[in-house]
Amino acid sequence: MVFAPASHILTNWYWPLFAPFMPKESMHRFLAIFIATIAVIQCYGIGERIIHASWQWYKFYGYSNDGYTTLSVGMTIFTFAASIITLIWGLSIYENSSDKFTLLTIKYSSYSLAFWSFLLALLVMSPLGQIVQR
């Protein structure tokens, strides 16, 4: 029995579902746009929390509880997991595509996902972010 490499499995698991509808390069382009949309949503969500934490810190600076923002445990874990899965998925598409638009879209979306995940990690570790169970 011959096994396919991991990058082939990660990239081509969806191919039998969409093969009758569109060519493979068009599917890669569609998925690249989908990953870019995920990156924009993540940018908005994490950016809003960082702005909120900064405003609370500015507003309550000098008081006993200097101001912070709350982060849900479930959403924080989901955001990190979704970012990692999307980064791996984007890397597998990046390795198997030859379309210039797809390559650029995946490249900048992956940078954005990594950057905002790093900022979320900093917010979680800083005193400006407080993890709460909801």
Is 92 domain-assigned?
Answer: yes
Is 101 domain-assigned?
Answer: yes
| C-alpha to C-alpha distance for 50 and 68, rounded to whole angstroms | 10
- Domain of 85 in residue numbering reads as 24-132
Taking only the tens place, the pLDDT of each residue in 87-116 is 999 998 898 888 899 999 999 999 999 999
Taking only the tens place, the pLDDT of each residue in 49-73 is 999 988 888 887 777 667 788 889 9
Count up the domains in the chain and report the number: 1
pTM above 0.75, yes or no: yes
Is 1 domain-assigned?
Answer: no
Taking only the tens place, the pLDDT of each residue in 23-32 is 778 888 989 9
Is 16 domain-assigned?
Answer: no
Instruction: Give 116: exposed, middle or buried? Use CB within 10 Å, 0-12, 13-18, 19+.
Output: buried
